[in-house]
């Protein structure tokens, strides 16, 4: 069986990538180990074509169009022509892409077309409280009209997306994102506490990093050695093109909490377990997620975790039993939950132990790969 993933997010050396890219890399490598043919096709970050074979995975990156207007037409043309070429040499069984990805692809008889819902335009526009973009609305609806099958990374994102697209009676399969619990099994867990907080994620409003910063003034007098390390890339604000990090730095200065907040920047993904080890609690107060891989990584590490009471949270966290959840829009509530961990760290460590077991049983890579294999085989039949 030959599976072709259409994405621009597949990890490339020295280029930052997010959770979707990490997920695809894990899934693709495991599928190859089970004798699947895997091709990853997308647009490059530089103006040239690149093709490589990475541990059995064929990765093709096409040059982006330089045309100022209508570049999507040329980009789509190049992708369609490349798909035809790939299919001619090694017939494709399945093409998988994200929510908008099928809008302008030409369907080829014999290939099954799949959308994997990680959270598309309708989904995040609703939860980020921003207006819908008519062009993206058109693309997303057109894309879904071409999909033969749908798969969702959480039950929540599946239900919400189809309701927003007015297709709530349509069926989908839930297949969670995988996590290698073995990778996080060596995270050091200390009984002593130094009040070090970790945030890992893009510096962007929807990740709740601003509210986390505003929680520090509620904590600094009680815990004078408190520090929060912000790990992740800066993101430009869409409306203004300005740096979101610069905005946060101004707020830190206005709150007079410079000595309590560190902007660490991007660190290699391979070092994340070590980074988690160096902290007492991980706090990721996202305003919305589809199924956050970063959450799963912490939950697999036996490290106390504070997430937000949004969307799919209940599918990976039992509040008060395996971790804690907060109102991500309330700095006071974030501070209150962090303080409760600091005040009873032994109980927090016990929750983290239970979390490790739950994540291992539910999200372990081998299990999720088998779920994907069964899904792919079922749709080919």
2-178+364-380 and 181-363, same CATH topology: yes
CA distances (Å), origin 265, targets 128, 139, 249, 335, 366? 24, 34, 13, 23, 32
Where helices occur in the chain by DSSP H, the ranges are 19-33, 71-89, 121-127, 134-146, 155-164, 209-215, 244-254, 272-277, 293-299, 313-316, 331-343, 345-363, 365-380
Q: Which residue has the tokens 């959270």?
A: 119
User: What pLDDT does 214 receive?
Assistant: 98
Q: Which residue has the higher pLDDT, 130 or 143?
A: 143
Give pLDDT, residue 53.
94
d(CA 215, CA 283): 11
Write out 185-233 in H/E/C secondary structure.
CCCCCCCCCCCEEEEECCECHHHCHHHHHHHHHHCCCCCCCCEEEEECC
Burial 67-83 (b: 16+ CB within 10 A, else e): eeeeeeeebeebbeebb
CATH class of residue range 2-178+364-380: alpha beta
The sign of the CA dihedral 271, 277, 205, 247 is negative
pLDDT in tens, 56-78: 999 999 998 877 666 778 888 99
Domain ranges (residues) in the chain: 2-178+364-380, 181-363
Closest to 345 measured CA to CA, from 184, 224, 181, 189: 189
| Residue for token pair 């509530």 | 333
State whether residue 286 is helix, strand or coil: coil
Please give the pLDDT value at position 18.
66
If one counts every other C-beta atom within 10 angstroms of the C-beta of residue 186, the result is: 10
pLDDT in tens, 202-252: 999 999 999 999 999 999 999 999 999 999 999 999 888 899 999 999 999
Q: Model confidence at 95, in pLDDT bands (50, 70, 90)?
A: very high
Beta strands 305-308; 227-231: pairing state:
unpaired
Distances from the Cα of 260 to the Cα of 139, 197, 230, 356, angstroms: 44, 10, 11, 30
Contact between 281 and 345 (Cβ < 8 Å): no
State the pLDDT confidence band at 312, using cuts at 50, 70 and 90.
very high
- Ranges 41-45, 57-61, 283-287: which has the least confidence: 41-45
Confidence (pLDDT) at 267: 92
Alpha-carbon distance of 130 to 289, in angstroms, equals: 15
Decide if pLDDT at 119 tops 70.
yes
pTM for the model stands at 0.86
Tell me: pLDDT of 19 over 70: no
What is the CATH number assigned to the segment(s) 181-363?
Answer: 3.40.50.2000
- Whether residue 21 contacts residue 11, with contact meaning beta carbons closer than 8 Å, is answered with yes
Tell me the two tokens of residue 28: 């693709």
Instruction: Report residue 365 CA to chain centroid gap.
Output: 16
């Amino acid at each position: 069986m030959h599976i072709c993933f259409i994405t621009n997010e597949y990890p490339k050396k020295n280029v930052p990538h997010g959770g979707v890219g990490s997920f695809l890399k894990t899934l693709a490598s495991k599928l190859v180990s089970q004798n699947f043919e895997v091709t990853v096709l997308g647009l490059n970050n530089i103006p040239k074509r690149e093709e490589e074979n990475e541990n059995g995975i064929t990765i093709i990156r096409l040059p982006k169009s330089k045309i100022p207007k209508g570049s999507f037409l040329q980009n789509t043309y190049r992708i369609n022509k490349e798909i035809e070429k790939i299919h001619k040499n090694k017939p494709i069984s399945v093409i998988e892409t994200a929510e908008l990805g099928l809008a302008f692809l030409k369907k080829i008889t014999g290939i099954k077309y799949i959308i994997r819902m990680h959270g598309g335009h309708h989904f995040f526009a609703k939860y980020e409280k921003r207006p819908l973009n008519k062009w993206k609305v058109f693309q997303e609806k057109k894309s879904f009209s071409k999909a033969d099958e749908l798969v969702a990374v959480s039950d929540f994102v599946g239900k919400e997306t189809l309701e927003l697209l007015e297709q709530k009676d349509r069926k989908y399969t839930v297949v969670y994102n995988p996590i290698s619990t073995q990778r996080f099994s060596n995270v050091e867990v200390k009984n002593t506490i130094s009040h070090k907080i970790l945030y890992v994620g893009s510096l962007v409003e929807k990740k709740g990093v601003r509210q986390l910063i505003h929680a520090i003034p509620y904590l600094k007098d009680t815990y004078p050695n408190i520090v929060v390390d912000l790990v992740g890339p800066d993101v430009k604000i869409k409306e203004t093109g300005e740096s979101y990090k610069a905005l946060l730095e101004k707020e830190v200065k206005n709150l007079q909490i410079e000595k309590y907040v560190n902007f660490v920047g991007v660190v290699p993904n391979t070092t994340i377990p070590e980074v988690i080890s160096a902290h007492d609690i991980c706090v990721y107060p996202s305003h919305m997620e589809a199924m956050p891989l970063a959450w799963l990584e912490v939950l697999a590490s036996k490290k106390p975790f504070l997430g937000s009471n949004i969307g799919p949270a209940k599918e990976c966290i039992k509040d008060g039993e395996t971790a804690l959840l907060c109102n991500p829009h309330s700095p006071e509530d974030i501070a209150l939950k962090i303080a409760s961990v600091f005040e009873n760290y032994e109980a927090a460590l016990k929750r983290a132990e239970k979390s490790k077991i739950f994540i291992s049983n539910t999200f372990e890579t081998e299990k999720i790969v088998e779920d994907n294999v069964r899904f792919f085989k079922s749709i080919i039949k």
